[in-house]
């Protein structure tokens, strides 16, 4: 496995109104391969997710059916592990994949996280589609396959089809893993307008993975978004002074100018964005403004995803969260990613600081 050097030291933190704070732009994390693999676990907001805590909607029987099927996968993996433990290991066969298809808020991620917890950290990897593509970029393809083939289950949340290159990469990765007997379990969201037309993403998914389609079972989860999310977050723009005051009241919080962070993200591999915000109690950004560049926007999406995974509150000064991405971007090919980021950023900017 290729080696990535450990994180460089972080410069002394600046002070804001007498309170020690930090700057994201002073942080240059460089997690090694072990750190990246160790991070493939359910995020904090799903740390307590279990099959027993999933509540299927009685009005949509497909949810209860999906719960039963994912529980079955966990039982099959446990049975195979038991046979190996007692020396009755059979030849490893092709891994049979599972694809959970549905709209926002029907519990797909809860089920995937519950599966990872049930199988155990040593036997199950859990990450988003983007995290796996970044892992390949950081480790190299062969080293990534070798590392992930040690798991019985590889969970892929939010499988994305909007980048042909990444989709081809993930299809190849899944082929290598299933050849080695690893069971991939993936989820994907369907855009609200597609759901309104009665169209889910499974057809697109099976077409894009082509030769692998026969190795996947598709489960469709119907239902309403339990959060009743409308898409764009509400709320007015905060002033920069309010952001500085919030940071000053929270020791260890970070404070940065928005454009400085965007420039810093361009210098870091996206696989490092999680380590960039690890341990922060609050992230403050001043001078925020709308962006109209997809390269910049996609980096910002990854940063928001990592902040959301770690449940880090954000205070944003200059513009409201709903206005961060331009109308062109919200109607383009990456709109699913941008809408997800807006929803998450809206939640983080209203989250209480603990």
* Structural contact between residues 24 and 256, judged by C-beta atoms closer than 8 angstroms: yes
**Residue 258, pLDDT above cutoff 80:** yes
* Structural contact between residues 282 and 353, judged by C-beta atoms closer than 8 angstroms: yes
CATH tag for 36-221 (out of 3.40.50.1980, 3.40.50.300, 3.40.109.10, 3.30.499.10):
3.40.50.300
**Could you tell me whether strands 15-16 and 19-20 are parallel, antiparallel, or unpaired per DSSP bridges?**
antiparallel
**pLDDT, position 267:** 96
Distance CA 292, CA 338 (A): 12
Question: Which residues are paired to 257 by β-bridges?
Answer: 286
**Residue 277, pLDDT above cutoff 90:** yes
**Residue 162, pLDDT above cutoff 60:** yes
Band of residue 148 on the pLDDT scale cut at 50, 70, 90? very high
Give the mean model confidence (pLDDT) for residues 47-70: 95
**What's the length of the chain?**
354
The sign of the torsion formed by the CA atoms of 302, 275, 345, 297 equals negative
Band of residue 227 on the pLDDT scale cut at 50, 70, 90? low
Question: In which region does residue 252 sit, left (phi positive, over 0), alpha (psi from -120 to 50) or beta (all else)?
Answer: left
* Structural contact between residues 72 and 115, judged by C-beta atoms closer than 8 angstroms: no
- Give the residue range(s) of CATH 3.40.50.300 domains in the chain: 36-221
**pLDDT, position 84:** 58
Residue 59 is inside which H or E element, if any? none
**Residue 101, pLDDT above cutoff 50:** yes
* Structural contact between residues 352 and 313, judged by C-beta atoms closer than 8 angstroms: yes
Question: Which residues are paired to 186 by β-bridges?
Answer: 99, 156
Residue 25's nearest CA partner among 281, 345, 262, 250 is 262
**pLDDT, position 31:** 83
**Residue 172, pLDDT above cutoff 60:** yes
Determine the Cα angle at 343 with ends 35 and 287, to 5°: 85
**Residue 9, pLDDT above cutoff 50:** no
Structure pTM?
Answer: 0.76
**pLDDT, position 199:** 44
The sign of the torsion formed by the CA atoms of 144, 337, 341, 119 equals negative
């Amino acid at each position: 496995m290729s080696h990535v050097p450990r994180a460089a030291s972080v410069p002394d933190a600046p002070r804001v109104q007498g309170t020690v704070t930090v700057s994201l732009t002073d942080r240059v994390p460089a997690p090694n391969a072990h750190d990246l693999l160790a991070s493939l676990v359910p995020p904090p907001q799903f740390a307590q997710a279990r099959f027993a805590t999933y509540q299927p909607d009685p009005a949509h029987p497909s949810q209860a059916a999906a719960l039963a099927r994912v529980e079955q996968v966990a039982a099959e993996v446990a049975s195979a592990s038991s046979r190996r433990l007692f020396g009755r290991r059979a030849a490893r066969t092709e891994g049979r994949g599972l694809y959970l298809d549905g709209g926002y808020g029907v519990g797909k991620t809860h089920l995937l996280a519950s599966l990872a917890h049930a199988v155990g950290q040593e036997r199950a990897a859990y990450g988003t589609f983007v995290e796996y593509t970044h892992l390949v970029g950081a480790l190299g393809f062969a080293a990534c396959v070798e590392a992930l083939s040690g798991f019985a289950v590889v969970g892929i949340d939010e499988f994305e089809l909007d980048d042909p290159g990444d989709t081809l990469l993930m299809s190849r990765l899944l082929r290598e893993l299933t050849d080695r007997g690893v069971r991939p379990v993936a989820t994907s969201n369907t855009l609200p307008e597609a759901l309104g037309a009665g169209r889910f993403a499974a057809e697109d998914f099976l077409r894009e993975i082509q030769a692998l389609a026969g190795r996947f079972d598709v489960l469709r989860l119907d239902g309403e978004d339990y959060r009743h999310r409308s898409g764009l977050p509400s709320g007015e723009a905060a002033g920069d002074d309010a952001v500085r005051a919030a940071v000053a009241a929270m020791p260890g919080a970070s404070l940065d100018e928005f454009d400085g962070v965007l420039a810093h993200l361009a210098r870091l591999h996206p696989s490092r964005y999680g380590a960039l915000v690890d341990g922060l109690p609050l992230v403050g950004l001043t001078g925020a403004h709308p962006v109209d560049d997809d390269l910049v926007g996609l980096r910002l999406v990854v940063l928001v995803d990592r902040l959301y995974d770690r449940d880090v509150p954000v205070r944003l000064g200059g513009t409201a969260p709903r206005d961060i991405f331009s109308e062109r971007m919200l109607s383009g090919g990456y709109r699913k990613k941008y809408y997800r980021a807006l929803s998450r950023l809206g939640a983080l900017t209203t989250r209480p600081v603990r």
